[in-house]
Structure 1
């Protein structure tokens, strides 16, 4: 089985996820600077979530450019990733709604969803590498164990610190996103152009 259909389906799901997030953004009711500042947490949560969904979309595209074939396990691990990505709009909305960006429960849930997205993407990459063979070029391009471990560790630290300071937790979640942008840059050098 080729990966084209899986990639097209995933692109559609990710496009819907981004659309749902942007539809959750509401303009201020008043035309004042104070009203704008009231929605800044909502916009920041949208920006971080958009960054994450974009990162996974680009990474997904890159790995399926080098994956020559797929199997049932890869289909299911891909759906596992899409499930966790599809929960991001809910957690984004909860954090951005009112003053919940400082509440522990929404921030912990948001971080947990991001952690599960990371773990499910790692599972997807491992499924692809295993299917193509551990010594294949595909497996070597997808081997990012050190960075994966560091990202998971930062998420765990962020989740642990959320009870003390939600801003520190969110900063750590954003740090993982920045690290993942650098990871994508390094992968793009290994992936042939479209």
Structure 2
């Protein structure tokens, strides 16, 4: 199967997820800076969730730009990944309303980890579906996903014992690391 329609589906689902996240941001109670500042956690978690969504889109866009063929394993694993990822709007609101509690932060990080694990599986299945694609084999190095999982688990440990927002901070740091560390190593 070719990938254009599948890429369009992924783009549409991500657009819906981002729209839901935006719609979940509460309005300021008055037109003052103070009431807007009261929503600092909502805006912070929204910004992080937007970056997470953009990262997910960017990853898929970069990978599918070099993929020639997909099969049912890729489709179903990506569908499961999108389902897990679609919990992000709920988790964004859950964290925003309970910013310093471990459990909401833990669920946000767990969503991040499960999505990374599913991305590893998708990479494996993409290579199987398109075995002659050398560019795909080079692009699907698993180390960045392993790094993401490790960084978020470290955040969970810190979050459990000391500071729950460390989890969401580590989610953000893992995205920054995935896109910058390989560039620094290849320089």
- TM-score relative to the length of structure 1: 0.87
TM-fit CA distance, 1:129: 1.5
Q: 1:31, CA displacement in angstroms?
A: 2.5
Q: Which residue of 2 aligns with 1:117?
A: 115
Aligned positions of 1:30-179 closer than 5 A = 30-97=30-97, 100-133=98-131, 136-143=134-141, 145-163=142-160, 164-179=162-177
Q: Within 1, Cα distance between the matches of 2:78 and 2:132? A: 19
Q: What's the CA shift string for 1:83-130, capped at 9, x where partnerless?
A: 121011010011112xx1001111111111111111111211121012
Spell out structure 1 runs of 4+ moving beyond 6 A: none
Q: Deviations over 1:118-172 (max 9, x none)?
A: 11112111210122228733212222x2222221111111112212211322221
Matches of 1:180 and 1:22 in 2, distance apart?
25
Gaps of 5+ in 1: 187-194
Q: For residue 23 of structure 1, report the CA deviation from its aligned partner.
A: 0.5
Q: 1:25-57: CA deviations, max 9, x gaps? A: 122112333212210100000000000111111
Q: Distance in 1 between matches of 2:138 and 2:90?
A: 35
- 3-state SS of 1:25 partner: coil
Deviation at 1:182, TM superposition (A): 2.9
Is 2:15 the counterpart of 1:15?
Answer: yes
RMSD of the alignment, in Å?
1.8
Quick one: distance in 2 between partners of 1:77 and 1:167?
30
In the aligned structure 2, how far is the partner of 1:167 from the partner of 1:17? 22
**Paired positions, count:** 182
3-state SS in 2 of match to 1:162: helix
Kept in 1: contact 2:67–2:133 (CA 8 A):
no
Instruction: Structure 2: state its 5+ residue gaps.
Output: none
